[in-house]
Amino acid sequence: LFFVCYRALIFPLLIREGKPTPFFTFVLALLFCAFNGYLQGRTLTTYATYPPGWLGGSHFITGFLGWLIGMAINIHSDHILRNLRKPGETGYKIPRGGMFEYVSGANFFGEILEWFGFALACCTIESFAFALCTLFILSSRARQHHK
């Protein structure tokens, strides 16, 4: 819930300036997020069953830690990206600090780690499918940004 609020409400308000997002892209992203949110929520509340002690098991703990670390990397990387340029400054700058010292798309890496952690913690086909979609979409974007 925190990440959904962060990504949908807080993050957009923190962005200074940027390229406008095409309306069609916005609508597709909105539909995907709404459908995925429904699918994940419905699966976890209606269909998924877990044995007693699941929350203390290695799958859940490892997945939860992966999700938490991925979210921290993602939020910190977004902070670095938002503060690359001073107000009114234009042009490309290479981000430095945090995970950007190790990968050129640290924000993408964080989000991929986050959702694979979620998938491991939940152990559902739907959460794994979402993690794979995230991997394919964001690794493609990361490759473009790297170039």
Q: Confirm whether 141 is domain-assigned.
A: yes
Q: Confirm whether 67 is domain-assigned.
A: yes
Q: Confirm whether 35 is domain-assigned.
A: no
Burial of 18 (0-12, 13-18, 19+ CB in 10 A): exposed
Residue 107 C-alpha from the chain's centroid? 8
Whether the pTM exceeds 0.75: the reply is: yes
Per-residue pLDDT 10s for the chain (147 aa) are: 566 666 666 666 666 666 677 888 878 877 888 888 899 999 999 999 999 999 999 999 999 999 999 999 999 999 998 888 887 777 778 899 999 999 999 999 999 999 999 999 999 999 999 999 999 999 998 888 888
Q: How many CA atoms lie within 13 A of 39 on its CB side?
A: 13
Name the residue range of residue 106's domain.
59-82+97-146
Residue 110 C-alpha from the chain's centroid? 7
Q: Confirm whether 7 is domain-assigned.
A: no
State how many domains the chain has: 1
Q: Radius of gyration (Cα) for the chain, nearest Å?
A: 17
Q: Confirm whether 108 is domain-assigned.
A: yes
Q: Confirm whether 113 is domain-assigned.
A: yes
Of 47, 44, 147, 105, residue with least CA distance to 113 = 105
